[in-house]
Amino acid sequence: MISSNLSAIFYLISGILFILALRGLSSPDTSRQGNYFGIAGMIIAIVVTFLSVGNFSNSLVYVVIFLLVGGAIGAFIAFRIPMTAMPELVAGFHSLVGLAAVFVAIAAFLNPEAFNLGIVGGIKLASLIEMSIGAAVGAITFSGSIIAFLKLRGIMSGSPITFGGQHFLNLTLGIGIFVLIYYLCITQSANIFWTVIMISFIVGVLLIIPIGGADMPVVISMLNSYSGWAAAGIGFTLENTALIITGALVGSSGAILSYIMCKAMNRSFVSVILGGFGADSSSDTTKEKKDQKPVKSGNAEDAAFLMKNASSVIIVPGYGMAVAQAQHALREMVDKLKKNDIKVTYAIHPVAGRMPGHMNVLLAEANVPYDEVFELEDINNDFANSDVAFVIGANDVTNPVAKTDPKSPIFGMPVLDVEKCKSVLFVKRSLSPGYAGIDNELFYKDNTLMLFADAKKMTEDIVKNLE
Amino acid sequence: MEIDPFIFRLSIFILSIFIGYYVVWSVTPSLHTPLMSVTNAISSVIIVGAIIAALAGSSESVFDVSSIFGFLAIVLAAINIFGGFLVTQRMLQMYKKKKDKKK
């Protein structure tokens, strides 16, 4: 058994190690070391907890068993998960953090003596507020992440679910939670505590169902943030520095990512949360345009010819590449091009894919060196000097309408200036619009060649034609 | 008058938000996915609360109502800790520079 002062120092150290873990991610070179700092911080926190409780009875054996069972499941998932499923995995993990926060809060409520928070029916006021906020945020994180997981996994439709009075209902429930917490503090009633948790589960579901599939980068970041705040709430209850520091770090990290994602879509955070994007933007003019305008379409042979004769090619990957699992074929194609002394770079829009940095991970998986991959602002000027832009699975993020048509729902969104390239190859299954529900002008430009096919199949065919 | 310990914890909390703010802005965008998975793993430090709750059962009754919730939380958090760190590690291994690749 170690003194609580000593254990507090160790918790502080583990908090600092977590900060260093995030700091390491500022460059891929230091990132692996950063991850080890994180692991070290976690080990310190767990060992110190064992020592400070100092109970080495049967319970300890069971704790270790449960820890290893969970660890084995986690390790199994981590090794088996394909990189394309990373968004679902992260959403699933968020839900576990949320539920763990709820369970810890419940345990603390049922047995406050174990945590030094008073006795049953006489829990310290501050602790009661902290644990109910922790439980409520945790419950919202849990059910919200489950919905996000189902949507990303495709089990639930990605289209927004909206109904009349939705915002009013959410607001009422939100206020209800605070009122109930107030009464909980007066009465210490267990029933009110359970009700708070139940309502929070419902709020989580209601918050996420109106948000459409392509707004998922924001949702995942937001739930990331929530899981942090839930951890911090529990950290205050348990008076644990490691948890408070970590909760604050994760909370602000998720908030920043949400902000970056919203900015990359030129949407306000509020409008994403209120949801329903794309539902009202299907103006009939776009349909007419589609019938009138001619589209040039080509095959793999044309594409291979164009690229062979180019001196520089920029690849623009998007979610469609992830769906088709085309990243390895793409890499093969790029290898062929490089053999012909063609300069190839990758351009990534911040919201390409279903979570922040999704495309970067997939390209890294396909062994694409990270110094060939560029972010929007670093590469956008290069399109004008390049011969071919190869758009694979991206759509709205290349739409020039965002710069020209103030009436368009995506007006003002930063887009990749693909149309400035001498020629554009656009791999797509059909002319159907992207998630924003708007037509892409790029399809009808004179210098665009549409390649109608599955991304993976088309890329493989191009590889064959490059022989 | 003595300062309530809560104020100290609040100070730590607020300062950590600022640290988080500056640290996360310096994360390179290409590592945003590993950032999410590692924040996931570290937020599972909530396992310390779960362990305290689980160890609170007496030696005669290891599983009482409150410790069961502790044990369940241990499993959930452990999935996250192992899964989160390992998947982050797996992703980070894939980020390679051009030079490493060719020679």
Please identify which of the residues A382, A396, A417, A461 carries the catalytic annotation.
A396
User: Is the ipTM above a cut-off of 0.90?
Assistant: yes
Are the CB atoms for B76 and A100 separated by under 8 Å?
Answer: yes
Residue A9 at interface with chain B, using a CB cutoff of 8 Å:
no
What distance in Å separates the CA atoms of residue A95 and residue A45, rounded to the nearest whole number? Answer: 22
Output the pTM of the full model. Answer: 0.88
pLDDT in tens, A361-416: 999 988 898 888 898 888 888 888 888 888 888 888 888 888 887 877 777 888 88
State the residue for tokens 């892409």.
Answer: A440
3-state secondary structure of A165: coil
Long-range contacts of A55-58 (CB under 8 A, 24+ apart): A55/B55, A55/B56, A57/B58, A57/B59, A57/B62, A58/B59, A58/B62
Which candidate from A55, A73, A252 shows the least CB-CB separation from B21? A252
Strand partners, A428: A452
Residue A17 at interface with chain B, using a CB cutoff of 8 Å:
no
Instruction: Check if A396 is active-site.
Output: yes
Strand partners, A313: A344, A388
Residue B99 — very low, low, confident or very high, per pLDDT cuts 50/70/90? low
Q: What is the pLDDT of residue A163?
A: 78
- Residues of A in Cβ contact (< 8 Å) with B6: 126, 236
Q: Which residues of chain A have pLDDT under 70?
A: 1, 56, 213, 274-293, 433-437
**Residue B45 clears pLDDT 90, i.e. is over it:** yes
Q: B62: nearest CA in chain A?
A: A59
Q: Does A232 sit within 8 Å of B19, measured CB to CB? A: no
Which candidate from B26, B41, B86 shows the least CB-CB separation from A26? B26
In 3D space, the residue among A407, A408, A395, A401 whose CA is nearest the CA of residue A435 turns out to be A395
Q: Does B34 sit within 8 Å of A31, measured CB to CB? A: yes
Which candidate from A74, A348, A371 shows the least CB-CB separation from B82? A74
The C-alpha of B1 sits at a distance from chain A's nearest C-alpha, in angstroms, of: 19
What distance in Å separates the CA atoms of residue A24 and residue A369, rounded to the nearest whole number? Answer: 19
Q: B17: nearest CA in chain A?
A: A248
Q: What is the pLDDT of residue A462?
A: 87
Residue A4 at interface with chain B, using a CB cutoff of 8 Å:
no
Q: What is the pLDDT of residue A305?
A: 85
